[in-house]
A and B are shown apart, each in its own frame.
Chain A
Amino acid sequence: MSQSNRLAAGGLIDRASSIGFTFDGRRYAGHPGDTLASALLANGVKLVGRSFKYHRPRGVLTAGSEEPNALVELRSGARREPNAKATVAELYDGLEATSQNRWPSLAFDLMAVNQLASPVFVAGFYYKTFMWPAKFWEKLYEPMIRRAAGLGRLSGEADPDSYEKITAHCDVLVIGSGPAGLAAALAAGRSGARVILAEEDFALGGRLNSDRRLIGDKTSAAWAAEAVAELESLPEVTVLRRTPVVGVYDDGVYAALERVSDHMREPGAHQPRQRLWRIVAKRSVLAAGALERPIPFGGNDTPGVMLASAVRTYLNRFGVAPGKRAVVYANNDDAAATIADLAAAGCEVVAVVDARGDAPALHAAARAARASLVFGGAIARAYGGRSLKGCEIVDGRGGGFKVACDLIAVSGGWNPSIQLTTHLSARPVWDDRLAAFLPGARPVGMEVAGAAEGAYGLGDALAAGFRAGAAAAEACGFAAGAVDVPATDQEPGDTHGRGPWRSPVKRGKAFVDFQNDVTVSDVELAAREGFKSVEHLKRYTTLGMATDQGRTSNVLGLALMAEITGRSIPETGITAARAPFTPVAIGALAGAHRHKEFRPTRLPPSHFWAEEQGAVFTETGQWMRAAYFPRPGEKDWFESAVREVTTVRTAVGVYDASTLGKIDIQGADAGVFLDRVYVNAFSSLAVGKARYGLMLREDGVAMDDGTTTRLGETHYYMTTTTANAGGVMRHLELCKQWLWPELDVHFSSVTDQWAQYAIAGPRSREVVAALVDEGFDVSNEALPYMGARELTVCGGVKARLFRLSFSGELAYELAVPARYGDAMIRAIIKAGEPFGICPYGAEALAIMRIEKGHAAGPELNGNTTAADLGMGKMLSKKKDFIGRTMSGREAFLDPERPSLVGFRPVDRSARLRSGAHFVPRGETPSAANDQGYMTSTAYSPSNGHWIGLGFLARGPERMGEIVRAYDPVRGGDVEVEVVSPVFVDPEGARLRG
């Protein structure tokens, strides 16, 4: 367990404590403050993964979330997480990591033979190779590709951890904690503004921790630590570590993902694994920094090839030497610091290859490090397979030589991290001087500071950060005051990397997109085959489409395409970045709302009682409704429901109708208002009476129905269907506020205020009489059908009693304040016992309403008119109402329109199914012969056979005719007789009795 590559001193790691971890089952040690990548490198492990298509050995390229290569599976069992970046995975004691996409082992991967077949796997291979025959795709090609190509494996088990969502508001959101971000947060925080500083890393400071710079008389890392300490002392500053900002939305809304417990073996008690922040910020400062670009050359994916800036991070932040003999390959001056840092750490820099003709900064650094220097040169090829052994260098004058090395540090210039500026569709702007895309139009309220806007120098970044932070705070009304920008040491020189974009020598595979195995040749091939636009390039080669979203490859691929096609980069274009900035687990988006807590559950007042009765529940929207109440010996819902129907039709039953929408309507114009929203009149309804009402949409289609009772001169009580309660309320408010603001009418939802029980059956009056207090008469004379009155029950509880019937029997609906709902149902059952009462559920109700031909959801289906429903005569001629004019449109008056009738099977033992289409007897089932459809069916205990409701062309004129109910989906083809939709008590004698 030796950390052979750990430097003797330095770095932001806790050397005093050692923590153990495993990689592919082997034990290693690291320190707190390490990433998995830095700890592996410290232990001399360079081979970390296999590539996506070719299974080539891969190592660590970067030191951040842009990493395309070092992807591993973390943990095991249900907590296994695929495609985790070793470069951001924080080391913890007992961390388990496994390499992925290799078989049988990382070192010996049989699938690497894919390389030999690489002509098959070139750009566009999906489109070309496996096109024909189509049936081979599913059976042969896809499984084959899936086995050969791919990334990590999902655990296949339920995620045992929890996730949380939280909202935070602030004046200033600072994204990134490098020099510009810390400066911005300090400037804004000191003003007293509410500041959130979000940093994706677990350490704050960005490149201040990666580079050996001086700010004033402090090292840059020490300055960062002091800045963080000050920020954390400010009461209105929130510092979020391990929290990438992943999305920018309209009006200052940002999404950020806090990895609360990803750096632990498992979350602490009650702690979520991740927390998704919705941040509402008046202003934001994007200080996301910049990412270094590689320069492609043959074998540039060999483990040991690394970005020059990442080399510095491993040396300075983690105290790890990623190699002992290094070659530096650069096209700008930034690598001077890498050369110096390698030398300072005791590593040998054998050669410095400057792709440019002359570069004094690199010249000086190379000389100081005693490295040989090649101007205008290139690396022709790296070799070594699983671990870098050396490279071939060409000098630009035709000469070349081989050097042995175990590290190649590559520096191709910088790409500002501007992705978050483009989430609202703004396009970046190419800057020739910087050779980089800079932010175009900023999202409203966002400023960009530091390297993210091309200010790469440390002093410039600090100054820009302080300026942007102060400006943001001032825009929110805080006095930020003047800031002394601290002095910094010598800046590195020209770090812009204006090319060359690749090694001119073509030898071996030169990778542009490491994660998706896209090479320079693939880009050339795409250009040859005409996929020259950047959008085509991306889709044809998959460049930039992997989990790293092409952070290290997009601009490079674009620059190469520009070079190949002889166009400028702006002419070639850029693909837009969209949210999320880094991958986000679906669990984090759901937060706590998953499984049964996916949405709220509404419990009607009888719920706990129904549970005690052993009711089986069904979900209706958010409601839990009792579907049926099984009794011992009943083997399924059907038996229970049939028994419940029979009880209601012969004795008495009780049903919790509280889920119906209930709306209290008051005001001098309440009657007039109802006249306008219902097809029929309500201003003429007598006080103490209820009436069935039908509402249309303005296009003439039925919207909802229910009964409305007039409780007083200016007071009504409306019920709606359970499903449409919210929609009806919205509609009424729209009519009131927008269409007729002059009316005096007011609504209050009282759905939850009243527990409302339907008591139905020939014995229902006796049950009700036993419940109402003395002095209240519930006889047919005192309370006739469609009558309503306010009274008290059970010794003084205020109640409303309605003589309404959905079942078709003599029936009442009794409403009491919801706090009494539980006691009320118990009292009803007790009072009903002598009469044989049983509770009935939604299944029995559904059967009874079909037996009575009442329209419900399947009939009010968004296609049907009042006339279709057989209620054309209800349409008032005396008044305007919503949907009146459009009810008269030509198509709705067509006599061939299907309208509501009943059906019964000619063979009485046959089962009917809703969804069947009606075809004339003897005709071929075809669209041309389609005459309508069945909407609702049930076995009718009252009739002893199946019955159905449906819409049939000229239906009411065709009573007694026999048609085919044709149901090809379920193989049904039944002859049915057209009958009245009312199958029980067509005269309505029972409900009036």
Chain B
Amino acid sequence: MAETLVARSALRAHVAPPAAPAGAPGFTLREVPDLTLASVAALKGREAELAEAVRAAYGLDLPQGPKRVASGPVAFVGAGPGKWLAVSSAATDFSALPAAVADQSDGRSAFRLAGPKARETLATLIQVDLHPRAFGAGDVALTHAASIAVTLWQLDDEPSYEILMFRTYAATLWRWIVEAGRSRGVEARLAG
């Protein structure tokens, strides 16, 4: 039998360079590893059944609109009319939900940006208004970072953000964030 396979990140230092600031970091950049992700779409006529199942399994009301609701390791992120992204920081099986569920755990990479300069750095790549009056913890934006499709949400008021992109774009987006972050004290470290 063949040897077991090792899981690897989409990032390597030569295409996703780390960065250390000269002084105190303006923000930190990290990959969020091992997320369980699934796209979830409500089947026709079974929307209520799905909402009930999510409530029963995770104690969450499916958000209407671009919002993120979370409970424990599990979160649901509005991804379009009748569509959600199910996210979990633990091993979670979403496939039993009464919905069209597609595993995306390997389809997306996720980064976390945290710190006072995270917002301004994102503004060099993303055109959505991230001012606290317009975008706060729990808000979600389906948008693009200089043409790379992303899903962005704010976790807390530090502020910290998580940004998801299709996995094969991860190295490029990491580079672009680091580039924009250099003048803003980015501290970027690859896992491992």
Q: Check whether chain A touches chain B (CB < 8 angstroms).
A: yes
Which A residues have a C-beta under 8 Å from some C-beta of B?
Answer: 164-169, 194, 269-272, 278, 280, 591-593, 597, 599-605, 608, 623, 664, 666-669, 743-744, 746, 748-754, 770-771, 773-774, 793-797, 816-824, 827, 830-831
**Which of B2, B127, B180 is within 8 Å of A592, CB to CB?**
B180
A601 lies within 8 A of B172 (CB): yes
Residues A818 and B180 in contact in the complex (CB < 8 Å), given A165-B124, A827-B2: no
Instruction: For the complex, give the distance between the alpha carbons of A771 and B102 in Å.
Output: 25
Interface string of B128-141 (1 = CB under 8 A from A): 01010110000000
Residues A754 and B106 in contact in the complex (CB < 8 Å), given A272-B183, A600-B173: yes
Closest-by-CB residue of A relative to B166 is A752
Residue contacts A-B, CB under 8 angstroms, 30 given: A164-B124, A165-B124, A169-B134, A269-B22, A597-B172, A597-B175, A600-B146, A601-B171, A602-B168, A603-B10, A603-B15, A667-B44, A667-B100, A743-B44, A744-B43, A744-B45, A748-B102, A748-B104, A750-B103, A750-B104, A750-B107, A752-B167, A773-B1, A774-B1, A794-B4, A794-B5, A795-B1, A818-B10, A819-B7, A822-B8
Q: State the Cβ distance, A708 to closest chain B Cβ, in Å.
A: 15
Q: State the Cβ distance, B20 to closest chain A Cβ, in Å.
A: 13
Query: B112 interface residue, CB < 8 Å from A?
Result: no
B44 lies within 8 A of A817 (CB): no
Closest-by-CB residue of B relative to A824 is B5
Instruction: For the complex, give the distance between the alpha carbons of A469 and B6 in Å.
Output: 61
B1: chain A residues within 8 A (beta carbon): 773-774, 794-795
A602: chain B residues within 8 A (beta carbon): 166, 168-169, 172
A597 lies within 8 A of B5 (CB): no
A816 lies within 8 A of B147 (CB): no
Q: State the Cβ distance, B182 to closest chain A Cβ, in Å.
A: 4
Q: Which of B2-22 contact A (CB under 8 A)?
A: 2-10, 12, 15, 22
What 8 A-B pairs are tightest by C-beta distance, nearest first? A753-B107, A744-B44, A666-B100, A746-B100, A746-B41, A748-B102, A169-B129, A270-B182
Instruction: For the complex, give the distance between the alpha carbons of A591 and B147 in Å.
Output: 13
Instruction: For the complex, give the distance between the alpha carbons of A819 and B171 in Å.
Output: 14
Instruction: For the complex, give the distance between the alpha carbons of A164 and B181 in Å.
Output: 11
A664 lies within 8 A of B5 (CB): no
B126: chain A residues within 8 A (beta carbon): 167
Q: State the Cβ distance, B19 to closest chain A Cβ, in Å.
A: 10
Closest-by-CB residue of B relative to A267 is B183
Query: B108 interface residue, CB < 8 Å from A?
Result: yes
Closest-by-CB residue of A relative to B39 is A748
Closest-by-CB residue of A relative to B4 is A795
B8 lies within 8 A of A819 (CB): yes
Q: State the Cβ distance, A897 to closest chain B Cβ, in Å.
A: 39
Query: B176 interface residue, CB < 8 Å from A?
Result: yes
A166: chain B residues within 8 A (beta carbon): 120, 123-124
Instruction: For the complex, give the distance between the alpha carbons of A877 and B90 in Å.
Output: 50
Query: B148 interface residue, CB < 8 Å from A?
Result: yes
Interface centre among A194, A593, A822 (most CB of B within 10 A): A822
Residues A819 and B106 in contact in the complex (CB < 8 Å), given A593-B146, A748-B100: yes
**Which of A591, A601, A668 is within 8 Å of B43, CB to CB?**
A668
A794 lies within 8 A of B148 (CB): no
Instruction: For the complex, give the distance between the alpha carbons of A603 and B8 in Å.
Output: 14
A194 lies within 8 A of B133 (CB): yes
Residues A752 and B5 in contact in the complex (CB < 8 Å), given A270-B183, A744-B43, A746-B100: no
A817: chain B residues within 8 A (beta carbon): 103, 105-106
B167 lies within 8 A of A818 (CB): yes
A820 lies within 8 A of B7 (CB): yes
B147: chain A residues within 8 A (beta carbon): 599-600
A592: chain B residues within 8 A (beta carbon): 124, 146, 176, 179-180
A774: chain B residues within 8 A (beta carbon): 1
**Which of A270, A278, A820 is within 8 Å of B127, CB to CB?**
A278
B108: chain A residues within 8 A (beta carbon): 752
A666: chain B residues within 8 A (beta carbon): 41, 100-102
Instruction: For the complex, give the distance between the alpha carbons of A608 and B16 in Å.
Output: 12
Instruction: For the complex, give the distance between the alpha carbons of A793 and B2 in Å.
Output: 8
Q: State the Cβ distance, A663 to closest chain B Cβ, in Å.
A: 9
B176 lies within 8 A of A167 (CB): no
Instruction: For the complex, give the distance between the alpha carbons of A793 and B3 in Å.
Output: 9
B169 lies within 8 A of A600 (CB): yes
Instruction: For the complex, give the distance between the alpha carbons of A957 and B41 in Å.
Output: 50
Instruction: For the complex, give the distance between the alpha carbons of A749 and B9 in Å.
Output: 20
B171: chain A residues within 8 A (beta carbon): 601, 603
A794: chain B residues within 8 A (beta carbon): 1-5
Q: State the Cβ distance, A452 to closest chain B Cβ, in Å.
A: 28
B131 lies within 8 A of A194 (CB): yes
Instruction: For the complex, give the distance between the alpha carbons of A833 and B29 in Å.
Output: 41
Instruction: For the complex, give the distance between the alpha carbons of A264 and B4 in Å.
Output: 57
A271 lies within 8 A of B183 (CB): yes
Q: State the Cβ distance, A825 to closest chain B Cβ, in Å.
A: 10
A750 lies within 8 A of B4 (CB): no
A816: chain B residues within 8 A (beta carbon): 5
Instruction: For the complex, give the distance between the alpha carbons of A817 and B34 in Å.
Output: 12
Closest-by-CB residue of A relative to B169 is A600
Instruction: For the complex, give the distance between the alpha carbons of A797 and B5 in Å.
Output: 7
Instruction: For the complex, give the distance between the alpha carbons of A929 and B96 in Å.
Output: 64
Instruction: For the complex, give the distance between the alpha carbons of A283 and B127 in Å.
Output: 18
Residues A752 and B168 in contact in the complex (CB < 8 Å), given A597-B176, A795-B2, A817-B105: yes
Instruction: For the complex, give the distance between the alpha carbons of A169 and B141 in Å.
Output: 15
B103: chain A residues within 8 A (beta carbon): 750, 753, 817
A820: chain B residues within 8 A (beta carbon): 5-8, 106
Instruction: For the complex, give the distance between the alpha carbons of A744 and B43 in Å.
Output: 6
Q: State the Cβ distance, A242 to closest chain B Cβ, in Å.
A: 16
Instruction: For the complex, give the distance between the alpha carbons of A605 and B169 in Å.
Output: 11
Instruction: For the complex, give the distance between the alpha carbons of A602 and B175 in Å.
Output: 13
Instruction: For the complex, give the distance between the alpha carbons of A773 and B2 in Å.
Output: 8
Q: State the Cβ distance, B186 to closest chain A Cβ, in Å.
A: 10
Instruction: For the complex, give the distance between the alpha carbons of A3 and B169 in Å.
Output: 58
Residues A818 and B129 in contact in the complex (CB < 8 Å), given A164-B180, A602-B169, A824-B5: no
Q: State the Cβ distance, A745 to closest chain B Cβ, in Å.
A: 8
Closest-by-CB residue of A relative to B9 is A819
Given A753-B107, A797-B5, 6 more pairs with CB closer than 8 A: A600-B148, A601-B172, A602-B168, A603-B15, A744-B44, A748-B39
Instruction: For the complex, give the distance between the alpha carbons of A774 and B182 in Å.
Output: 51
Instruction: For the complex, give the distance between the alpha carbons of A667 and B127 in Å.
Output: 34
A753: chain B residues within 8 A (beta carbon): 102-107, 167
Instruction: For the complex, give the distance between the alpha carbons of A744 and B99 in Å.
Output: 11
Instruction: For the complex, give the distance between the alpha carbons of A746 and B79 in Å.
Output: 13
B183: chain A residues within 8 A (beta carbon): 269-272
A164: chain B residues within 8 A (beta carbon): 124, 180
B22: chain A residues within 8 A (beta carbon): 269
Residues A751 and B166 in contact in the complex (CB < 8 Å), given A166-B124, A818-B106: yes
Closest-by-CB residue of A relative to B126 is A167
A827: chain B residues within 8 A (beta carbon): 2-3, 5
Instruction: For the complex, give the distance between the alpha carbons of A718 and B129 in Å.
Output: 36
A831 lies within 8 A of B2 (CB): yes
B120: chain A residues within 8 A (beta carbon): 166
**Which of A168, A272, A664 is within 8 Å of B102, CB to CB?**
A664
Residues A748 and B41 in contact in the complex (CB < 8 Å), given A592-B124, A770-B2: yes
B124: chain A residues within 8 A (beta carbon): 164-167, 591-592
Instruction: For the complex, give the distance between the alpha carbons of A795 and B2 in Å.
Output: 7
A593: chain B residues within 8 A (beta carbon): 146
Q: State the Cβ distance, B26 to closest chain A Cβ, in Å.
A: 11
Closest-by-CB residue of B relative to A271 is B183
A591: chain B residues within 8 A (beta carbon): 124
B39: chain A residues within 8 A (beta carbon): 664, 748
Closest-by-CB residue of B relative to A772 is B2
Instruction: For the complex, give the distance between the alpha carbons of A823 and B4 in Å.
Output: 9
Instruction: For the complex, give the distance between the alpha carbons of A743 and B41 in Å.
Output: 13
Q: State the Cβ distance, B175 to closest chain A Cβ, in Å.
A: 7
Instruction: For the complex, give the distance between the alpha carbons of A168 and B126 in Å.
Output: 10
B7 lies within 8 A of A667 (CB): no
B131: chain A residues within 8 A (beta carbon): 169, 194
